[in-house]
Structure 1
Amino acid sequence: MLPFFLSRGFYRVYHQDVEKEKETHNYLSTEEIKEKVHNYNLTVTDKLKMTLNSNGIYTGFIKVQMELCRPLSVWTSRNEEKHAFINNGCMNTLHISSTNTVREVIEALLKKFLVSESPAKFALYKRCHKEDQVYTCKLSDREHPLYLRLVAGPKTETLSFVLRERETGEWEAFSLPELQNFLRILNKEEDEQLQNLKRRYATYRHKLEEALQGTWKLD
């Protein structure tokens, strides 16, 4: 399997910074929110419904896919730091409110995985499917993901969320020891993959040799 940062090239993904996009949100009135929450709950299929409170704040669920290219600094059970890869492609479900911002969602995800790094090193993206293409846009820290989920509806094909490292100056944000440690981890994983591959082919070779010997004995 190719590393994630190589396999990403197989997808036609278009990145556009939210500041450049100049997207504006027309926030809804209380009655419009009530209607949209009602319609959302009628169409949801995974039982992850939204709840509208009397103060106008609503709560619900969003799913965020992890797409990270490098090992992260995480806390161990002994309260020590180590570097580890977070399982790419895994989907995380968060219960949030309409007041929670993108920054708070990022902080919640990092806390869930015991990541000790600054939330400023990460960004939340929204992903939309349009015809045969995938459109991805970075969200600003002040946006509200549950509002976007409510407006788009429950279908992840219409809208989904992705957590990634920030692209601009990504590697410049790390110290030399951190980069050297990342390189050691990558080298170790490469060596492990190579050894697994050698063992796999050695097993195949052994079975083929046994099959050939059996054929010769029959002859």
Structure 2
Amino acid sequence: MSFEITWGSSTSSGYSSQESEDSDSELEQFFTARTFFFLKAKRNTDEQIDWGKQELTVSEIQQKVKEYNAQINSNLYMVLDRDGTYTGFIKVQFKLARPVSIPPPQKPSVTHEGGPQEDDTKRRTSFYLPRDTAKHLHISSHTRAREVIEALLNKFTVVDNPAKFALFERSERQNQVYLRKLPDEECPLHLRLCAGPSEKVLSLVLKENETGEVNWDAFSLPELCNFLRILQREEEEHVRQIIKRYAVARDKMKTAMASVTTPG
């Protein structure tokens, strides 16, 4: 996954353009996610490794840091301090389903005929971050998940409330993908050290903080209006894709019926 972040014109209006193949993928992901919800209870949760519960002595940390640095093919090493703390890099992938907001361009404050200044919250720009967006952060073993989220938002000048987001641990085992939401006080660099540098064994993902019902009161009026426009566009796109699929299936059936020869 590329670390370079590209900003196309399609994101400047608050929407991200999607080709038909992307829409098909979205539909497949939707049904896969729904199926996963019903099958989740049947899985053996003991298969998931809880890296966060592994407590290490100073000598064990020293050995793991040495093993970790021997496995990476870059200069993103971990550095161990004398007191047993350590610093290093984590890579966080952005998997956001909703747009984020950034402040408007800085302009000289101008009042109109002595009236109040325009509220900056009404001029925020909302847009989707590209799906392949990722960011490296240099943190310590004491840096908490909540601090990582705040640092990521600051890097991209995102003005949304950090409470809207959560950091997740993602792992792949036996063709299954597991996601675990990190508590605010958990230390991501400790997870990275225990799991090793492999992204398949463990990767960190920033997602929306799904706590059940969405707290719509936490959003500003311009954000809510933008969400409605985005939902309408997504709905129209899904309808177009469904109509297209039925049209293709109907044409194939008509072609098959025309090619059938009647007996006698």
* TM-score category (smaller protein): 0.7 to 0.9
Tell whether 2:69 aligns with 1:55: no
Note the alpha carbon deviations across 1:56-108, whole angstroms, 9 max, x for none. Answer: 22111111110111111212332752212111231211111101000000001
Offset of residue 54 of structure 1? 2.1
Query: What is residue 119 of structure 1 aligned with on the other side?
Result: 162
Change (3 A) 1:191 1:102: same
Partner of 1:183: 228
Q: Distance in 1 between matches of 2:28 and 2:127?
A: 20
User: Which of structure 1's runs of 4+ aligned residues deviate more than 3 A?
Assistant: 3-8, 10-16, 173-176, 185-192
Note if 1:93 corresponds to 2:136: yes
Query: Could you report, residue by residue, the CA deviation over 1:130-176 in whole angstroms, capped at 9, with x for unpaired residues?
Result: 11111111110100000000000011110001100011245324447
Please give the alpha-carbon distance, in whole angstroms, between the structure 2 residues aligned to 1:122 and 1:60: 23
**Could you say which structure has the higher strand fraction?**
1
1:2 to 23, 28, 37: 23
**Is 1:34 aligned to 2:77, yes or no?**
no
Report if the CA contact (8 A) 2:91-2:137 is conserved: yes
Q: TM-score, normalised by structure 1?
A: 0.74
SS at match of 1:171: coil
Counterpart among 118, 126, 129 of residue 172 in structure 2: 129
How has the CA–CA distance of structure 1 residues 108 and 13 changed in structure 2, closer, same or farther, with 3 Å as cutoff?
farther
Q: CA 1:132/1:68 → structure 2, altered by over 3 Å: closer, same or farther?
A: same
Root-mean-square deviation (CA), in Å?
3.1
Instruction: Tell me whether 1:78 sits opposite 2:115 in the alignment.
Output: no
**2:228 partner letter:** L
Contact 1:13 1:133 (8 Å CA) reproduced: no
Distance in 2 (CA, whole Å) between partners of 1:138 and 1:29 is 25
Contact in 2 for aligned 1:123/1:138 (Cα 8 Å) = yes
* Kept in 2: contact 1:4–1:88 (CA 8 A): no
Q: Is the 8 A contact 1:13 1:136 kept in 2?
A: no
3-state SS of the aligned residue for 1:126?
strand
Flag structure 1 segments of 5+ consecutive residues without an equivalent.
Answer: 193-219
Contact 1:13 1:134 in 2 (8 A): no
**Partner Cα distance (1:83, 1:2) in 2:** 21
Quick one: distance in 2 between partners of 1:54 and 1:189? 54
